[in-house]
Chain A
Amino acid sequence: MVKVSRNIVTTQLQLFLLAAFLLFIFKIIFGNSDEFFLRILLDLLIAASIFFLLLALIKFENSRTSTPLSLILNVGILLAIMFFIIMFSDFLLPSIFDSINLKLENPGLVYNIVSFIYVLVLVSIVSFFLITLRHFFYLNQRKNVKIYFNTMLIFFILASLSINFFRDDSLSFIATTFFVVSLLLMIFNSIRISWIAFLSKKEKIYLLLLSFVITTLFIVNITNSAGDNIYSQILTAFSPSLRQFNQVIMIYGSIYFLILFFTTLFHLPTAEAYDRKAQEVTSLQYFSKLITEVLDFNDLAETVTDIAQKLSGSKASWIIWKNGTKQNSLAPKNIGFVESDKVTKQILERISFENLTSTKTFSLKEGISEGSSDNLLTVVSVSPIKTRGETQGILVATKGSGQIFTQDDLNAIETFSDYASVAIENSRLLEESIEKERLEKELDVAREIQRKILPSKVPEYPDLQIASVFIPAFEVGGDYYDFFKLSETKLGFVIADVSGKGISAAFIMAEIKGIFESLVKTIEGPKEILIKANDILKETLDSKTFVSAAYGYFDLGKKKLVFSRAGHCPLFLLRDGNTNQIKPSGLGLGLSDGEYFEQTLEEYSVDLNENDTIVLYTDGVTEAKNEQLEDFGDKQFLQVLQSNIKLNAEELSNKIVKEITVFSSGHEQYDDITLVIFKWQQ
């Protein structure tokens, strides 16, 4: 493609050179002849030259991407050059050629060459003006731009040629008419300049100055070339049409830039508002990106600093994030951790998280060099990032020496940090809800484990009533109870409570079930079983987890109950209308190593009487809470037992559950509730 377009440029350039060469030959042969036919031929050659030059320039212009401002600057420079050419030709050319007037009548080769180059340079400059003006005209997103512009060009040509061919005073109105129409078309085509709306305020001020200077230069050049000076003499001699064409274009230029000047002037008051709107649109794009795209916290931090840096045009950006009592730098952009930490230190000497409620800017006491030594960071802006109403992080942006944070920068960062807060809060909430869902799933699993571990029904004996109640808490509490048929006449039982809750408690329950099921097969004594269980659990449990347990067995033949208590709730024995709390000494399982555990563990044995009721429970019973967060408590539990001594095992357990339910009706059950009741009926 590039090669092809370059070929086209060359083709047009070649055509232009050919036309120019023919023009040059024509001039050498015929000089400044006044014959009608020759005049037509001359103007045709000139028109062809200009036409191909314009085409070449358009192609050249399209091949590079230049901003309107740079084009305008080019126009200004060329105008200045033109100004000097016109000025100096008055002094310079006469000194070379003695008398221009003589030469005009009788030009030599040297004069032809010099004047030809002179004209060529001026024509090129004016052509560039025309191309630039065309470029600006095409920037307007109007319909039929091409038709409007080409119509105007045709009238330019007509106005130029009519000067040459209707010289007669009676016909001069024709040239005047064309000229006036051209003038009207120029004005029509110059109004409604829309492209300047997209410039920033700074650029508009720059444009205002430039357009003023350029308008002035155009007018000065027009005035200079209108007089009877060397410039106009040479050009008129070359071709009056060409001179007129130049003038027309210069007038078009001056009108366009004059209107541009006023348009810019009228745009200026709203420029700031426009800038802000433009900024807001950009920011909104950033913000929506921030909120929709990023959910992971670390990615979010990266995006936040990246955008903050771009938005404020700062050198580096990062987040100071509060992590407990410490602060650390997150996602540093364009700066190393070491340097950002140095700046962070200086910032935190000046402000605290609590006091920072809006965006602030200040200079650093000592600049921090980043990379090379001349790249000194000296000013910072700090904005709070709030979650749950508290400043949790500080968004930092820094600039180098000689730069400042403008109010616009600060506004942008301030708004942005608000959005960043929302985004960070969102990601936190999402994380929380994911975590919550995960916990709920986990608890479902834990409850399922617990349900499978606990006995589905109680064993049945003619002389021993057995009732059990288990009410799970939402967060699995780690309660466990079980019965073991040791022999025809012996029934073992265990009740235990794992410290902690949830899935980990459920796993430990499963482990305990396994331990007791295997131990009861080989060992009979409750104390011995608990000692062995402690040995195993001390090994496997982590240091802060332990298990309270009570293990015992009924010897139905010998009418005896033997049991030991390892840190578990005491056992109640209801006998002869009295409630007796039985609490032999014993440490919880997993708290202490074997020897000390063994020393402190007691074994209790009691002979059973008719209607003896034995109640085992976990702390979920006594720690059941009411709305005022008061415990159900040992005392109340004792009272319930005492006043219901006569009930059978099933009735008693129902009664206790009812009492607890009534007591704690206003409060969510926090821990598992387990109740195992035996009643000896022989």
Chain B
Amino acid sequence: MAEFSTSVRERGDISIINLKGFLDAHTAPTLENNFTQLINSSKYKIVVNFEDLAYISSAGLGVFMAYIENIRDNKGDIKLTNMSDKVFNIFDLLGFPLLYEIYKNEEEAIKKFSGS
């Protein structure tokens, strides 16, 4: 029903995924592909920018869970940025802030990567 698209950028060794539209069970495979490709090319430092994301369903949240273990085992991380209040609430309800680092903007997330 709803549109969803992603785009991937590189900032040094950090990969930034921009999400746009509606992320649910039907559109999740697109994001899954992004993660799979990054992991296949050994890019484990990933920032996901939620600025243009209108909606995320529980299945959309599941995508992040699917890859985090593998990424962290390889000394990488998924950091989340630019969430709208609505999207943040959904993350918050499930306790995601306890599991993921969530930042206001990309710069903070990138700084965290380079700092550690």
Contact = CB atoms under 8 A, between A and B. Distances in A.
A591 B65 CA distance: 7
Interface stretch (A135-143, A189-197, A540-548): A540-548
B58 A548 contact: yes
B94 A591 contact: yes
B94 A500 contact: no
A500 B58 contact: yes
A546 B62 contact: yes
B78 to A, nearest CB: 13
A585 B65 contact: no
B95 A585 contact: yes
Contacts of B65: 543-544, 546, 591
Contacts of A586: 95
Given A543-B66, A544-B65, A631-B86, A501 B59 contact: yes
Given A500-B59, A546-B65, A591 B86 contact: no
Interface in A565-596: 567-570, 585-588, 591-592, 596
Given A499-B59, A543-B69, A631-B86, A548 B99 contact: no
Given A500-B25, A500-B59, A501-B25, A587 B99 contact: yes
A600 interface: yes
Nearest to A596: B98
Contact of A588 (B2, B25, B86, B95): B95
A43 interface: no
Nearest to A597: B95
Interface string B90-110: 100111101100000000000
B93 A544 contact: no
B63 interface: yes
B58 A546 contact: yes
Contacts of B62: 499-500, 544-546
A548 B89 contact: no
Given A543-B66, A543-B69, A544-B66, A592 B99 contact: yes
B61 interface: yes
A244 B59 CA distance: 101
A437 interface: no
A596 B96 CA distance: 12
Contacts of A500: 25, 58-59, 62
Contacts of A619: 58, 90, 93
Given A497-B58, A500-B59, A546-B58, A587 B95 contact: yes
A203 interface: no
A591 B59 contact: no
Interface string A505-548: 00000000000000000000000000000000000001111101
Interface in B32-72: 54, 57-59, 61-63, 65-66, 69
B89 A634 contact: yes
Label chain B's interface by main secondary structure: helix
Contacts of A671: 57
A497 B58 CA distance: 9
A587 B97 CA distance: 9
Contacts of B54: 629
B93 A591 contact: no
A499 B86 CA distance: 18
A570 B93 CA distance: 8
Label chain A's interface by main secondary structure: loop
A446 to B, nearest CB: 13
A570 B95 CA distance: 12
Interface in B18-42: 25
A496 to B, nearest CB: 11
Interface size class for chain B?
A: 20 to 34
Interface in A14-52: none
Contacts of B99: 587, 591-592
A567 B95 contact: yes
A600 to B, nearest CB: 5
A47 to B, nearest CB: 90
Contacts of B93: 548, 567-570, 619
Interface string A603-622: 00000000000000001000
A544 B63 contact: yes
Contacts of B61: 499, 546
Contact of B98 (A545, A546, A600): A600
B42 to A, nearest CB: 19
A600 B97 CA distance: 11
- Most chain A CB within 10 A, of B57, B58, B66, is at B58
Nearest to B89: A634
B66 A588 contact: no
A669 to B, nearest CB: 12
A292 B63 CA distance: 42
Contacts of A567: 93-95
Contacts of A591: 65, 94-96, 99
A548 B69 contact: no
B59 A588 contact: no
- Most chain A CB within 10 A, of B61, B98, B99, is at B98
B95 to A, nearest CB: 4
A571 to B, nearest CB: 12
A567 B94 CA distance: 4
B35 to A, nearest CB: 11
A543 B63 CA distance: 9
Nearest to B64: A544
- Most chain B CB within 10 A, of A497, A500, A671, is at A500
Nearest to B92: A583
A544 B25 CA distance: 11
Contacts of A499: 57-59, 61-62
Contacts of B69: 543
A327 to B, nearest CB: 17
A366 to B, nearest CB: 32
Nearest to A475: B25
A498 B58 CA distance: 8
A567 B99 CA distance: 12
B30 to A, nearest CB: 11
A435 to B, nearest CB: 14
B66 A587 contact: no
7 contacts: A544-B59, A544-B62, A545-B62, A567-B93, A570-B93, A587-B94, A591-B96
Given A544-B66, A548-B94, A629-B2, 19 more contacts: A498-B58, A499-B62, A500-B25, A500-B59, A544-B65, A545-B62, A546-B61, A546-B94, A548-B58, A567-B93, A569-B93, A570-B93, A585-B98, A587-B94, A587-B99, A591-B65, A592-B98, A629-B54, A670-B1
Question: Which 5 pairs of residues, A with B, have the shortest CB-CB distance?
Answer: A544-B62, A587-B95, A499-B58, A544-B66, A567-B94
Interface of A: 497-501, 542-546, 548, 567-570, 585-588, 591-592, 596, 600, 619, 629, 631, 634, 670-671
